[in-house]
Amino acid sequence: MTIHPSSSANVVWHQASVTQERRERLNGHRAVNLWFTGLSGSGKSTLAHAVEERLHELGCRTFVFDGDNVRHGLCGDLSFSIEDRHENIRRIGEMVNLFLQAGVIALTAFISPMRSDRQRVRDIIGDDAFVEVYCRCPLEVCEERDVKGMYKKARAGEIKNYTGISSPYEEPVHPDLILDSGSRPLEECVEAVIRLLRERKIIEQG
């Protein structure tokens, strides 16, 4: 568990008697964050939910944080400027940290285009708990999919600061897992994630 200094006055961290380690033993698995990053349309959310489905079948405690869903509530006051994107990811990192303390496997599907922001989440929750999964998919494939019609609007200049078009995406340098989500079948991607979790003894074999 990671505890960070607070700028709020007169607040003291209350140490619970039921610890993260006890919750993990009860759940039968470690609490980690699977951070799925990649361009819009790369298949992050689809993969995150498919992995959650598989983990749920294995009896794991899970929760998926989806980029659009979070912006309907927790981060509904933020724009897509660089500054607000930084704050968006910071809030997600802190929320994920709470879920990890609850012993949950948190799956996060965010474009999170800046390496510094992804590193910030790693710093918040701890290196051992951050598993970066890069959904590598060519821009042209993402544009072909364009299920939300966002790329078309971005190309027409109707959306500003759109990642891959008018705003940069910084690929992970050393991700824990690279999945060619533009060409690799979904089930193979799911199995690759599950295999990694077993190799790292986050979930049990079998």
List of domains in the chain? 20-138+169-199 (3.40.50.300)
CA distance 64 to 86: 20
pTM of the model: 0.88
pLDDT of residue 77: 79
pLDDT of residue 79: 72
Token reading at 122? 């790693």
The Cβ of residue 52 has, within 10 Å, a number of other Cβ atoms equal to 19
Can 112 be counted among the known catalytic residues?
A: yes
- Residue spans of the chain under pLDDT 70: 1-14, 67-68, 70-72, 74, 206
pLDDT of residue 6: 56
Helix residue ranges, H only, the chain: 20-27, 44-57, 67-70, 82-101, 115-125, 139-145, 150-155, 186-199
Residues 6+ apart with CB under 8 A from 162: 40, 80, 150, 151, 153, 154
| Nearest C-alpha neighbor of 32 from the set 130, 113, 174 | 130
pLDDT of residue 137: 97
Q: Which of 40, 45, 112, 167 is catalytic?
A: 112
pLDDT of residue 10: 67
